[in-house]
Amino acid sequence: MKIREEFLPFSRPSIGEAEINKVVTCLKSGWITTGALSQEFEEKFCALTAAKDAIALNSATAGMHLTLSALNIGAGDEIITPSLTFASTVNMIALRGATPVFIDVDYGTLNMNPELIEEAITPRTKAIIPVHFAGAPADMDKINKLAQKHNLIVIEDAAHAVGTYYKGISAGGFGNIAIFSFHPIKNITTGEGGMITISDPLLTKKIRLLRFHGIERDAWKRYGKGGNPAYDIAEPGYKYNLPDMLAALGLAQFERWPELNHRRAHLAELYNEGLAEISDIDLPQIPAYEHTHAWHLYIIKMLKLDREKFMNKLAEYNIGYGLHFPPTHLLKYVQEKYRAKIGPLRETDRAAGKIISLPLFPDMQDDDVQYVCDAIKEILSHG
Ligand SMILES: Cc1ncc(COP(=O)(O)O)c(C=O)c1O
């Protein structure tokens, strides 16, 4: 086959005139940091998820840091999480002085296996952090039931899950805490950004304070006409607010999420068809329970070739790729610090060396998927 001239990236945000106009309007408005647009963006997430509150942030990582801080998670506490997640979760657990307790995943969906949670719970366990992996929801009924039984908080990692539904309920709509990400590869983007959805008023208040230095009143109210710029701080906080300039981009993207996700689902279907005949790869499995998949990622498992070699081959064909994720239990500091606590993670280890994320983004053409499928077939026929 003929190698394409233009590089096909693994991901690229879909930015149209509506996004550009909305950001330009904000830039011209005289107020570009956190204000009315950020608040409007929060309201959109309340409506999407049916959570009581939403808190806009400059990253999902900030959301995890704030959540663990507001819950007073610290030394001696254990947090249940899959190892197969982004390092930021484990970093935040470690930086709070707590201990991650890793749960194995299902090899097919790469979602945390809820059957393994109960045996990992100890008197020190404080929270469970399921990931809606690649946009497929975690098994929330089972997870929530266990959490209620053992009085644990569930923090949904909804970084991949704008538009993910579990049995008719949106990610972020289960009454606990969820954290979305708007990093540029995510289903909607603000450049960088995140959102907590939450339904506990006391915790909401605490997180809002910790989001901005611990200062009670928002800057846009303090600096408005007749506002009082003085402040006091009862507890020191961080600087994790989402500027309006970025919320403007988020608002324009939010309008488009159904269309963007629809396109992702179509492309995923094309991959399913185009790769169906190849026996040397495993295709992504979808959960058996009722759900809507957000198709944030399309992850195959390479069974035949060494992954490094496969990635090099894809590069020769001018195709980008991603790796979601290097398992966190193998990270250097995690091995050094928590090795004694890491139990067997058979399915994670089985998948870890094989997973690779193929290009998937809404502006990709149907032909691009065909090209990737043909390239994989050709690579495998030579390899
Ligand atoms: C599963 C998961 N959790 C958390 C994050 C962190 O998101 P952010 O980059 O917005 O901090 C990411 C982002 O890549 C992710 O994929």
Q: What confidence tens digit (pLDDT) does each residue in 178-204 have?
A: 999 999 999 999 999 999 999 999 999
Confidence of residue 383 (pLDDT cuts 50, 70, 90): confident
Rounded CA separation 6/125 (Å)? 50
Using a pLDDT cut of 70, give the percent of the chain over it: 98
Q: How far is the CA of 60 from the centre of ligand 1 (A)?
A: 6
Q: Find out whether the beta carbon of 328 lies less than 6 Å from any atom of ligand 1.
A: no
Tell me how far apart the terminal alpha carbons of the chain are, to the nearest angstrom.
15
DSSP-based three-state secondary structure for 105: strand
Q: Find out whether the beta carbon of 157 lies less than 6 Å from any atom of ligand 1.
A: yes
pLDDT at position 157: 98
pLDDT digits 0-9 by tens, 331-362: 999 999 999 999 999 999 999 999 999 999 99
Q: How far is the CA of 156 from the centre of ligand 1 (A)?
A: 12
DSSP-based three-state secondary structure for 260: helix
What string of H, E and C letters represents the secondary structure of 282-349? ECCCCCCCCEECCCCCEEEEECCCCHHHHHHHHHHCCECCECCCCCHHHCHHHHHHHHHHCCCCHHHH
Residue nearest to atom 8 of ligand 1 (CA): 60
Q: Find out whether the beta carbon of 183 lies less than 6 Å from any atom of ligand 1.
A: yes
pTM score, two decimals?
Answer: 0.97
Q: Find out whether the beta carbon of 357 lies less than 6 Å from any atom of ligand 1.
A: no
Question: Is 169's pLDDT higher than 80?
Answer: yes
Q: Where in the chain is the domain with CATH 3.40.640.10?
A: 17-254
- Length in residues, the chain: 383
Q: Find out whether the beta carbon of 171 lies less than 6 Å from any atom of ligand 1.
A: no
Question: Is 374's pLDDT higher than 90?
Answer: yes
Q: Find out whether the beta carbon of 86 lies less than 6 Å from any atom of ligand 1.
A: yes
Q: Find out whether the beta carbon of 322 lies less than 6 Å from any atom of ligand 1.
A: no
What string of H, E and C letters represents the secondary structure of 129-146? CCECHHHCCCCHHHHHHH
Fold that domain 17-254 belongs to in CATH: Aspartate Aminotransferase; domain 2 (3.40.640)
Q: Residues with catalytic annotation?
A: 186
pLDDT at position 225: 75
pLDDT at position 13: 98
Question: Is 220's pLDDT higher than 70?
Answer: no
Residue nearest to atom 9 of ligand 1 (CA): 183
pLDDT at position 214: 95
Q: How far is the CA of 89 from the centre of ligand 1 (A)?
A: 8
Rounded CA separation 25/259 (Å)? 23
Q: How far is the CA of 381 from the centre of ligand 1 (A)?
A: 35
Q: How far is the CA of 193 from the centre of ligand 1 (A)?
A: 10
**CA-only gyration radius of the chain, Å:** 21
CATH 3.20.19.10 assigned to domain 257-382? The reply is no
pLDDT digits 0-9 by tens, 294-308: 999 999 999 999 999
Question: Is 375's pLDDT higher than 70?
Answer: yes
Q: Find out whether the beta carbon of 133 lies less than 6 Å from any atom of ligand 1.
A: no
Give the residue, out of 57, 132, 183, with the most ligand 1 atoms within 8 A of its beta carbon, to mutate for a pocket test.
183
Q: Are 327 and 103 in contact (CB under 8 A)?
A: no
Residue that wins the pLDDT comparison between 218 and 251: 251
Q: How far is the CA of 85 from the centre of ligand 1 (A)?
A: 9
- What angle is formed at CA 240 by the lines to CA 256 and CA 152, rounded to 5 degrees? 85
Q: Which atom of ligand 1 is nearest to the CA of 85?
A: 1
Residue nearest to atom 14 of ligand 1 (CA): 86
Rounded CA separation 367/1 (Å)? 14
Determine the average pLDDT of the residues in 260-286.
98
Q: Where in the chain is the domain with CATH 3.90.1150.10?
A: 257-382
Determine the average pLDDT of the residues in 81-93.
98
Confidence of residue 221 (pLDDT cuts 50, 70, 90): low
Mean pLDDT of the chain: 96
